């Protein structure tokens, strides 16, 4: 597609510009017009590919027109969050454009031929046995364009679905790594009977249900989970005063927001997302609840995630509602919360999503406590940096500042819920969609295989009506939605895969996944093991998470681990169905 578009533009330009008079002045104009138009086109193409590569690294999916429209008005803010000054970005862009422009000014003497010098231009000579064919450069370009178009016509069915241009223009995420492909290919109606289940609305004991998710928050970095950095003063104080219950070993469903949030709301592991399933708001709707979504981040333009949340949402706002505001600013979410007046606070489910910890989240100055910190874009240039070197430390400082801000947001949310009379009998669950790499395995950001940094998330429960949940050695994001239904005495859809946190369970394994990897974490003979497998290949990993080497040593090939491997592989195969 790239070559074809270049070829077509080039062929048109050559044809049009050669119509100009061949006098000196006309030739100069033609030269500049050619270098400017063709250079600009090349520059835009390069920028597009750079954004596409950036997209696959940062959000595991392509760059699309939807995202372009969502962020173009917020470019200065986006750049400042990424740690790049607007002037620097502008200067860099101009420099790139100027370089391309100058290259084409130089090349124009070979490409752009006027009638005057067309005969004098050096031809490209090809020799086939005894015959010699002489081709002018301009003829070569035309022939190449025709060849490219012919090649395109013959093969486009094979590669078009994966072509970055085609994906961007059609906003087609179906081949992305965000969820099983079946989810994108089959649309289902949340009103249809296929998701209906036994309803016992008359036995419901309504109380406010609040879900707070913090994007890209890994548990081990939080003060409340034992990190020596005191970045969660509010949550830690709740835990100290026994108002908060903490689950230690909790795994996310996958490693990006899309499947993480959707799986959480539908209590589905990765594989189950292939089939229709009710979300928590569908399940609560038939129990006479109203649902409010207040989501930091742009869930509308990010792979159309909003569409997958279903129809049963009574009030919805996400970062895309006001294009004059930066979509990833949690202070906006707080404003929405302040303005909202739930008609029946007792029968309200509220889902609040925060972006303070996420690399694209807006960090406010008052929370920039740990210095020096480096904004996330720098890490893109830091391949090879480790958690302990200078950049790794600065990156972690930035992350800790984000956690401090998120903790303050949760404090403000609790205060606002109290003001609205919604806190006293509420069930509040605080968790995350996935974790974040902070230099482990030379990785930053999230996505990719579900290693511990990106798959271990917090799970904190504020439940004044039930202050003692049973211990659970291993929990999952899928347990959150059933916990809310259990708390009000509602029936749990049989298709859901989680187990309410209020009940004891004998479950000893949970599923984890990413775009190309399936996995299982299991307790076997008192030890925690992790199994990972590439879906399209036979590559397998087995890690003993209780050993000091943990995920740095693959024990899948060790003879004495054969039984463990067999057991966990069987569990993993079953979960993939
Ligand atoms: Zn996320």
Q: How far is the CA of 11 from the centre of ligand 1 (A)?
A: 44
In total, how many domains does the chain have? Answer: 2
Instruction: Please write the tens of the pLDDT for every residue from 385-394.
Output: 566 677 778 8
- One domain, residues 349 and 418: yes
The reply to whether 238 and 372 lie within a common domain is: yes
Q: How far does residue 434's CA lie from ligand 1's centre (Å)?
A: 6
**Same domain flag for 140 and 236:** no
What distance in angstroms lies between residue 139's CA and the mean position of ligand 1's atoms? 51
Q: Domain end: 487, 503, 519, which one?
A: 503
Q: How far is the CA of 215 from the centre of ligand 1 (A)?
A: 5
pLDDT at 17: 62
Radius of gyration over alpha carbons of the chain, in Å?
28
CA of 442 from ligand 1 middle (Å) equals 20
| Pair 102, 234 in one domain | no
Mean pLDDT, residues 405-430: 97
**Helical (H) or strand (E) element with 201:** none
| Shared domain check, 272 and 153 | no
Q: What angle do CA 212, 458, 214 make, to 5 degrees?
A: 35
Q: Is residue 191 part of a domain?
A: no
Distance (Å) from CA 450 to ligand 1 centroid: 14
| pLDDT for res 107 | 80
- For residue 187, the model assigns a pLDDT of 64
Q: Residue 543: inside a domain, yes or no?
A: no
Whole-number Cα distances in Å, 390 to 157, 379, 439: 48, 12, 11
For the chain, what percent of residues have pLDDT higher than 90?
A: 52
pLDDT value at position 193? 43
Residues 348 and 464 in one domain: yes
491 Cα to the center of ligand 1, angstroms: 29
Tell me which DSSP letter residue 496 carries: -
Residues 322, 423, single domain; the answer is yes
Whether residue 214 is found in the same domain as residue 94: no
Q: Which of 503, 522, 544 is the last residue of a domain?
A: 503
Range name among 8-22, 285-299, 554-568 with the lowest pLDDT average? 8-22
- Report how far ligand 1's centroid is from the alpha carbon of 67 (Å): 16
Residue of 256, 354, 350, 254 lying closest to 303 (CA atoms): 256
Q: Report the mean per-residue pLDDT for the chain.
A: 86
**Do the beta carbons of residue 306 and residue 300 sit within 8 Å?**
yes
Residue 7 scores a pLDDT above 70 = no
Distance (Å) from CA 399 to ligand 1 centroid: 14
Pair 323, 332: CB distance under 8 Å:
no
Assigned domain for 531 exists: no
Task: Calculate how far, in angstroms, residue 97's C-alpha sits from the geometric centre of ligand 1.
Answer: 34
> pLDDT tens across 400-410, in order?
999 999 999 99
Give residue 257 CA to ligand 1 midpoint distance, Å. Answer: 3
Regarding whether 236 and 107 lie in a shared domain, the answer is no
Ligand 1 centroid to residue 177 C-alpha, Å: 13
Average pLDDT, integer, range 173-180:
76
Helix (H, G, I), strand (E, B), or coil: what is residue 348?
strand
- Distance from residue 237's CA to the centre of ligand 1 (Å): 26
**Within a domain: residue 125?**
yes
From 458, 473, 503, give the residue that closes a domain: 503
Average pLDDT over residues 465-469: 94
Domain that holds residue 496: 208-503
DSSP tag of 152? H
- Residue 102 CA, ligand 1 centroid: distance in Å: 42
CATH number at residue 462: 3.40.720.10
Whether residues 255 and 134 fall in one domain: no
Those residues whose C-beta lies under 8 Å from the C-beta of residue 147, and which sit 6 or more positions away, are: none
User: Residues 73-126: pLDDT tens digits?
Assistant: 888 888 888 777 888 888 988 999 899 888 888 887 766 655 555 555 556 666
Kindly report which listed range (84-88, 109-113, 307-311, 560-564) carries the lowest average pLDDT score: 109-113
Same domain, 132 and 252: no
Whether residues 160 and 213 share a domain: the answer is: no
Q: How far apart are CA 261 and CA 381, in angstroms?
A: 29
Identify whether 555 is part of a domain.
Answer: no
- Write down how long the chain is: 577
Question: Can you give the pTM of this predicted structure?
Answer: 0.86
Q: Which has the higher per-residue pLDDT, 152 or 293?
A: 293
């Amino acid at each position: 597609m790239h070559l074809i578009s270049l070829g077509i533009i080039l062929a048109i330009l050559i044809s049009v510009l050669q119509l100009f008079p061949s006098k000196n002045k006309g030739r100069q104009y033609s030269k500049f017009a050619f270098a400017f138009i063709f250079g600009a086109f090349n520059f835009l193409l390069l920028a597009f590919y750079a954004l596409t590569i950036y997209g696959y690294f940062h959000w595991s999916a392509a760059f699309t027109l939807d995202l372009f429209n969502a962020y173009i008005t917020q470019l200065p803010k986006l750049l400042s969050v990424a740690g790049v000054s607007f002037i620097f970005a502008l200067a860099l862009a101009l420099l790139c454009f100027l370089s391309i422009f100058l290259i084409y000014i130089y090349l124009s003497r070979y490409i752009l031929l006027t009638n005057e010098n067309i005969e004098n231009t050096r031809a490209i000579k090809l020799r086939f046995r005894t015959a010699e064919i002489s081709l002018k450069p301009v003829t070569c370009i035309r022939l190449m364009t025709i060849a490219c178009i012919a090649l395109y016509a013959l093969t486009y069915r094979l590669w078009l679905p994966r072509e970055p241009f085609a994906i961007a223009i059609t906003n087609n995420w179906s081949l992305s790594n965000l969820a099983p492909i079946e989810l994108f290919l089959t649309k289902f109606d949340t009103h249809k009977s296929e998701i209906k289940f036994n309803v016992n609305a008359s036995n419901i004991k309504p109380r406010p249900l609040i879900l707070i998710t913090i994007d890209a928050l890994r548990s081990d970095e939080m003060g409340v989970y034992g990190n020596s950095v005191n970045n969660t003063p509010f949550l830690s104080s709740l835990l100290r005063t026994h108002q908060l219950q903490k689950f230690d070993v909790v795994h996310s469903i996958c490693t990006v927001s899309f499947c993480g949030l959707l799986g959480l709301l539908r209590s589905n592991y990765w594989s189950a997302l292939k089939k229709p399933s009710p979300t928590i708001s569908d399940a609560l709707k038939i129990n006479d609840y109203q649902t409010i979504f207040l989501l930091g981040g742009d869930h509308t333009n990010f792979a159309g995630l909003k569409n997958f949340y279903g129809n049963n949402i009574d009030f919805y706002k996400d970062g895309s509602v006001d294009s004059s505001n930066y979509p990833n600013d949690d202070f906006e979410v707080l404003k929405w919360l302040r303005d909202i007046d739930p008609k029946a606070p007792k029968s309200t489910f509220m889902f609040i999503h925060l972006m303070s910890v996420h690399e694209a989240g807006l960090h406010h100055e008052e929370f920039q406590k740990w210095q020096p910190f480096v904004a996330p874009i720098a890490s893109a240039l830091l391949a090879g940096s480790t958690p302990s070197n200078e950049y790794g430390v600065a990156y972690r400082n930035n992350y800790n500042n984000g956690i401090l801000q998120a903790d303050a947001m949760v404090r403000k949310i609790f205060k606002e819920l109290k003001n609205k009379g919604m806190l006293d009998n509420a069930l509040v669950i605080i968790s995350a969609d996935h974790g974040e790499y902070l230099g482990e395995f030379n990785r930053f950001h999230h996505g990719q295989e579900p290693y511990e940094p990106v798959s271990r998330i917090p799970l904190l429960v504020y439940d004044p009506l039930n202050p003692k949940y049973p211990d659970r050695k291993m929990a999952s994001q899928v347990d959150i939605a059933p916990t809310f239904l259990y708390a009000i005495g509602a029936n749990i859809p049989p298709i859901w895969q989680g187990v309410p946190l209020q009940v004891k369970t004998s479950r000893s394994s949970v599923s984890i996944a990413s775009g190309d990897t399936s996995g299982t974490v299991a307790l076997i003979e008192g030890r925690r093991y992790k199994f990972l497998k590439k879906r399209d290949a036979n590559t397998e990993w087995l890690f003993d998470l209780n050993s000091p080497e943990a995920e740095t040593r693959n024990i899948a090939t060790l003879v004495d681990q054969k039984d463990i491997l067999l057991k966990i592989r069987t569990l993993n195969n079953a979960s993939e169905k």
